[in-house]
A and B are shown apart, each in its own frame.
Chain A
Amino acid sequence: MTHPILTVLPAAPGGGLPAGAAEVLGAASEIGTPVAVVVGPADALAGLAEQAASLGATTVHTATADGDQLGVPAADAAAAAVALVQPDAVLVPATIEGRDVAGRLAARLRAPLAADIVGVSRDDEGVVVRHSVYGGAYDVDSAATFGPLVATVRLGAIDARAEAATPDVHEFAVEASGRRAAVVEGFEPAPQTSSRPDLRSAKKVVSGGRGLGSKEQFALVEQLADALGAAVGASRAAVDAGYAEQSLQVGQTGTSVSPELYLAVGISGAIQHRAGMQTAKTIIAIDKDASAPIFEVADLGVVGDLFTIVPQLISALEARKG
């Protein structure tokens, strides 16, 4: 196998492959041969392995991680898979569980780690990864001085997809490392809110801020998002005020998004908010304050009252749909 690239896919806490699985396999296919290690409950492994193959994993190594130990079993399996596959690089989706596994894996392998990468390539000396730094103000490339690089891949950042592969699945037994782990006592899935796209990988995002004024009125943002087939996002002030879930926060300390369209409603555009959205292709902003800094990055800025503009926009979109 030329240039094996190991993707690490721990089953999501609620089941299924982790978010970003297609993306890391796509990235792997750009720099070598995609291989996957899938870790999860015994009865789910066959299905997960098949999915990984359909997303491009030419070989899938599966390992069982039943039980209630947090983080350590997935790291044990990933470390064993690295020994087996001898990859040029290890790519892990930058999900929450993925970041935990990556940190542990890098420590075990004594390998360097590139965090939150947005692109991969190859030069004469090996794998090079790209980071988007300071809210998209800089592009930085990094590489390992020698040996394999472990990288966490920002969700939604990779467009490449690998061709589906014929499943070639190998189950392997992992010797437990015996590292001390926290114990999981329970998991509560987040309530599924309709069929809206995932914020992190959506092509369009409609975000609402403190200007919405209440949780009830925040529904306006959701209606506009639905009219556009967009994901819903929020500013930190809107999250703090309880209008939206923390997982919807866009910005410096929330999610960084780079969609085709970002529509900001009642968001002033503080520097920390812009850090998470200013690389969007097209930005539209609606705010009643003409001096709001969001207008500095908007392709179309509309000064006015969101409570009249947004309903009119929704009707206009519905009318155009016919």
Chain B
Amino acid sequence: MKIVVLMKPVPDTWGPRVLSLETGLADRAASETVLDEIGERALEAALRHAESASDVEVVVLTMAPEAAQSTLRKGLAMGAASAVHVADERLAGADLGRTAEVLAAALRRGGFDLVIAGDASTDGVGGVLVPWLAELLDVPAITRLESLEITADAVRGTRATDGGSMVAQAALPAIVSITEALPDPRFPALRGIMNAKKKPVEQLTLDDLEVEADETASPRSIMTAVAERPPRAAGEIITDEGDAGERIAAFLADRRLA
């Protein structure tokens, strides 16, 4: 069985994240680029299955600028067997549709039984890529799984949906997304880090993929304006002297919030 895990290099949420006011794109120099944690969780889920079943190959797939390749090494160090990196300058600023087309083409090219992704990235927060890929690839999708059971021919689990939880099952090949309810990702062991250096990373450009060459032939989403909000100023800080509860109540009453 081949499991492909979608992982996205994103600006580290632990530091400031900056948008260029000129291009509207992420200012990559302003932040460190790291693998999105939710993708690491998806990889963790895949690796756990690979460790409990035989003949499971785990591959990491990303579409990201060339410079982000070093982040993929972490996925390999965690235990993925290989990585596929779609890097092409023509993809700078790609919208969701273009991203979905490219990832679908890469998935078709490499083949898969199961694709696992995070439910939403920390920089885009769209949460629409997995259903989008399901349509392009014509495979069933289950989004936001909180538990995951993989068998030779199906994937099944509980998903957190609106107003309750749902149990769903899909025949393979299929695509799923997972939530933070799944276990934390492992830290790569030293041996994993050493081994990762020898693992293959296949680098692809648009020319290797069957995608529409002229990006502008289809309608796209474009940014028309970017503005920075003024940062919030800190207000009044008080130390409790036995009456802080009363003082908060008075503050709320003053502002007509209670």
Q: Is the interface of B mostly helix, strand, loop or mixed?
A: mixed
Rounded to whole Å, the gap between the CB of A197 and the closest CB of chain B is 14
Closest to B159 in A: A96
Could you say which residues of chain A place their CB within 8 Å of the CB of B225?
139-141
Rounded to whole Å, the gap between the CB of B68 and the closest CB of chain A is 18
Q: Given the complex of chains A and B, what is the CA–CA distance between A286 and B231 in angstroms?
A: 21
- Contact check, B163 vs A14: say whether CB atoms are below 8 A apart: yes
Could you say which residues of chain B place their CB within 8 Å of the CB of A305?
240
A165 at the interface (CB under 8 A from B): no
Within 8 A of B (CB), among A155-187: 179-187
CB-contact partner of B96 in A18, A106, A249, under 8 A: A106
- Contact check, A190 vs B220: say whether CB atoms are below 8 A apart: no
- Contact check, A301 vs B236: say whether CB atoms are below 8 A apart: yes
- Contact check, A297 vs B224: say whether CB atoms are below 8 A apart: no
Rounded to whole Å, the gap between the CB of B74 and the closest CB of chain A is 19
Could you say which residues of chain B place their CB within 8 Å of the CB of A241?
none
B141 at the interface (CB under 8 A from A): yes
Contacts A113-B97, A308-B240, A309-B245 given; indicate if A144 touches B162 (C-beta within 8 A): no
Could you say which residues of chain B place their CB within 8 Å of the CB of A216?
none
Could you say which residues of chain A place their CB within 8 Å of the CB of B257?
204, 228, 260-261, 282
Q: Given the complex of chains A and B, what is the CA–CA distance between A247 and B165 in angstroms?
A: 11
A46 at the interface (CB under 8 A from B): no
B130 at the interface (CB under 8 A from A): yes
Contacts A106-B132, A190-B164, A300-B235 given; indicate if A309 touches B248 (C-beta within 8 A): yes
Q: Given the complex of chains A and B, what is the CA–CA distance between A171 and B172 in angstroms?
A: 35
Contacts A137-B228, A298-B237 given; indicate if A246 touches B128 (C-beta within 8 A): no
B194 at the interface (CB under 8 A from A): no
Within 8 A of B (CB), among A110-154: 110-116, 128, 133-134, 136-147, 149, 152
Q: Given the complex of chains A and B, what is the CA–CA distance between A246 and B145 in angstroms?
A: 13
The segment out of A26-34, A58-66, A311-319 that lies at the interface is A311-319
Could you say which residues of chain A place their CB within 8 Å of the CB of B170?
70, 181-183
CB-contact partner of A138 in B19, B139, B222, B237, under 8 A: B19
A303 at the interface (CB under 8 A from B): yes
Contacts A103-B130, A103-B132 given; indicate if A115 touches B240 (C-beta within 8 A): no
Contacts A96-B143, A110-B97, A298-B235 given; indicate if A71 touches B164 (C-beta within 8 A): no
Q: Given the complex of chains A and B, what is the CA–CA distance between A108 and B136 in angstroms?
A: 8
- Contact check, A253 vs B122: say whether CB atoms are below 8 A apart: yes
CB-contact partner of B131 in A18, A71, A141, under 8 A: A71
Contacts A110-B219, A189-B164, A313-B249 given; indicate if A303 touches B97 (C-beta within 8 A): no
Q: Given the complex of chains A and B, what is the CA–CA distance between A293 and B139 in angstroms?
A: 45
A284 at the interface (CB under 8 A from B): yes
Within 8 A of A (CB), among B99-142: 100, 120, 122-132, 134-136, 138-142
Q: Given the complex of chains A and B, what is the CA–CA distance between A70 and B249 in angstroms?
A: 48
Could you say which residues of chain B place their CB within 8 Å of the CB of A310?
245
B252 at the interface (CB under 8 A from A): yes
Within 8 A of A (CB), among B209-256: 216, 218-229, 231-232, 234-240, 243-253, 255
Could you say which residues of chain A place their CB within 8 Å of the CB of B235?
283, 298-301
Could you say which residues of chain A place their CB within 8 Å of the CB of B244?
286, 302, 304, 309, 312-313
CB-contact partner of B216 in A145, A252, A301, under 8 A: A145
A271 at the interface (CB under 8 A from B): yes
Contacts A253-B38, A275-B13, A282-B257 given; indicate if A70 touches B140 (C-beta within 8 A): yes
Rounded to whole Å, the gap between the CB of A149 and the closest CB of chain B is 7
Q: Given the complex of chains A and B, what is the CA–CA distance between A103 and B146 in angstroms?
A: 20
B169 at the interface (CB under 8 A from A): yes
B187 at the interface (CB under 8 A from A): no
A226 at the interface (CB under 8 A from B): no
Contacts A13-B164, A204-B257, A272-B13 given; indicate if A141 touches B224 (C-beta within 8 A): yes
- Contact check, A137 vs B229: say whether CB atoms are below 8 A apart: yes
- Contact check, A104 vs B135: say whether CB atoms are below 8 A apart: yes
Could you say which residues of chain A place their CB within 8 Å of the CB of B130?
103
- Contact check, B246 vs A312: say whether CB atoms are below 8 A apart: yes
Per-residue CB proximity of A1-20 to B under 8 Å, as 1/0? 00000000000111000110
- Contact check, B161 vs A107: say whether CB atoms are below 8 A apart: no
Contacts A111-B219, A301-B237 given; indicate if A188 touches B141 (C-beta within 8 A): no
Contacts A182-B140, A272-B13 given; indicate if A145 touches B222 (C-beta within 8 A): yes
Closest to B171 in A: A180
The segment out of B42-50, B78-86, B174-182, B197-205 that lies at the interface is B174-182
- Contact check, A253 vs B221: say whether CB atoms are below 8 A apart: no
- Contact check, A138 vs B129: say whether CB atoms are below 8 A apart: no
CB-contact partner of A246 in B169, B181, B224, B238, under 8 A: B181
A-B contact pairs, 5 of them (CB 8 A): A104-B132, A107-B97, A115-B128, A140-B223, A141-B226
Given contacts A143-B222, A144-B219, A301-B236, 13 further A-B contacts (CB under 8 A): A14-B163, A71-B134, A102-B128, A110-B97, A133-B19, A142-B224, A152-B127, A187-B164, A188-B166, A295-B234, A304-B240, A309-B244, A312-B245
Cβ-closest 8 pairs across A and B: A312-B245, A304-B240, A115-B126, A103-B131, A103-B128, A107-B135, A316-B249, A112-B221
